Structure 1
Amino acid sequence: MTNLNLRLSNINIMGKRTFNEIEKIDNIGSLYPTTQNYVFTHAESLSAKEFIPINCDVVEFVKQIERDKNIWIVGGNTILAPLLDNHMVDNMIIQIAPVLLGMGIPIFSQKEGLKRFYLKEVKKYGQFAELIYSKI
């Protein structure tokens, strides 16, 4: 995530598979120091105190968040798909890195949700590419 995106994000939401990948990072607490970080999981606790375990429906959880807050969905389809299905995504910033993560975590399972967005901007940060989509 770029520094601009970190400044714009108030809340990070991810699934347990994504958390399992990033918890391997040294000093994980410094990864997202300015945001509230939630992990959707059945676990009652996590290995990093900066991440809060959540066990509820993602749509209902997001509905409870103040509308002026910016949420970054970190990771894949399990969290993103229900939000797309319920028209709860205004913008998507998809970052592509030249890294292979085994089987990977799918971003999208449904193609219909993507039809509601248009490619607004493409940015390059070194070896990273960032695609910015906005709601039509």
Structure 2
Amino acid sequence: MDTERKIVCYIAESLDGYIATEDDSLDWLFKVEGEGDAGYADFMETIDTVVMGRRTYDWVMEMEKGEYPYEELKSYIYSKSVKDGSPARDIEFTDMDIPAFADKLKSAPGKNIWVIGGSELLAGFMDAGLVDEFIISIAPVVIGSGIPLFKKSNLMTEYKLKDVKRYGEFAQLHYISK
């Protein structure tokens, strides 16, 4: 039985709703005591495609010292400028219209699609009503300012709580679209 691919956002945020500081630091996140991998390995089994913004991609590449951590997955990087010669074999740079892009991905066979970030790209998917699930790990840290998970929007979208888990000091909320 074929099941429809879902677009999922799996992410961590501060208690006050930020995914990074204004200078892109996640130091606050790594200071929080977790438990295990917070379900990351199980989540990774459900996806075969990652989508991220160019700024997130550049940050990942810097943190991973040029070693792309999602080599085994099909990857799409949203960028206003297309980059040639990506370091990984299955990376495609795109600036395709988000609804058309999502239709293309969801109509192809495969597992779920992970929108990693950042918040600008996520806002584009949210504005188009395309995020099927959120798995948000909340760190017990207030950082005061930074890059918010959700951009301001006039769109109201309702989700249903599927699960709540605790991983050490993290609370993980899993929401699905209604």
Separation (CA, whole Å) in 2 of partners of 1:104 and 1:33: 29
Normalized per residue, the structure richer in helix is 1
Q: Does 1:56 align with 2:56?
A: no
How big is the alpha-carbon RMSD for the aligned residues of Structure 1 and Structure 2? 2.9
Distance 1:60 1:81 in 2: 16
Q: Where does 1:6-85 land on structure 2 (aligned, <5 Å)?
A: 6-26=44-64, 28-29=67-68, 31-41=69-79, 42-45=81-84, 48-50=87-89, 51-67=91-107, 69-85=111-127
Partner Cα distance (2:125, 2:92) in 1: 20
> How many equivalent pairs are there?
133
* % identical aligned pairs: 30
One-letter amino acid matched to 2:137: Q
CA distance in 2, matches of 1:120, 1:21: 31
**Gap runs ≥5 in structure 1:** none
Measure, in 2, the Cα distance between the counterparts of 1:81 and 1:46.
Answer: 28
Displacement after TM superposition at 1:100 (Å): 9.3
One-letter amino acid of the counterpart of residue 84, structure 2: S
Question: Shift of residue 126 of structure 1?
Answer: 4.0
Higher RCO, Cα 8 Å, sep 6+: 2
Q: CA deviation at 1:105?
A: 3.3
Q: Given that residues 71 and 88 in structure 2 are in contact (C-alpha distance below 8 angstroms), is that contact kept between their aligned partners in structure 1?
A: no
CA contact (8 A) 1:121 1:132 kept: yes
Contact 2:82-2:93 at 8 Å conserved across structures: yes
For 1:14-35, what per-residue CA distance to the aligned partner results, in whole angstroms no more than 9, with x for missing partners? 1011112111133633x22432
- 8 Å Cα contact 2:125-2:131 kept in structure 1: yes
TM-score, L = length of structure 1:
0.76
The CA distance in 1 between the partners of 2:158 and 2:87, in whole Å, is 36
Q: Could you report, residue by residue, the CA deviation over 1:81-132 in whole angstroms, capped at 9, with x for unpaired residues?
A: 232222222211123457899x64332122634x411332222334544221
Alpha-carbon offset, residue 54 of structure 1: 1.3
1:100-111 alignment, distance < 5 Å: 104-109=146-151, 110=153
1:131 corresponds to: 173
Q: Which has the larger radius of gyration?
A: 2
Normalising by the residue count of structure 2, what TM-score does the alignment of the two structures yield? 0.61
Segments of 4+ moved more than 6 angstroms: 98-101
SS in 1 for 2:125: helix
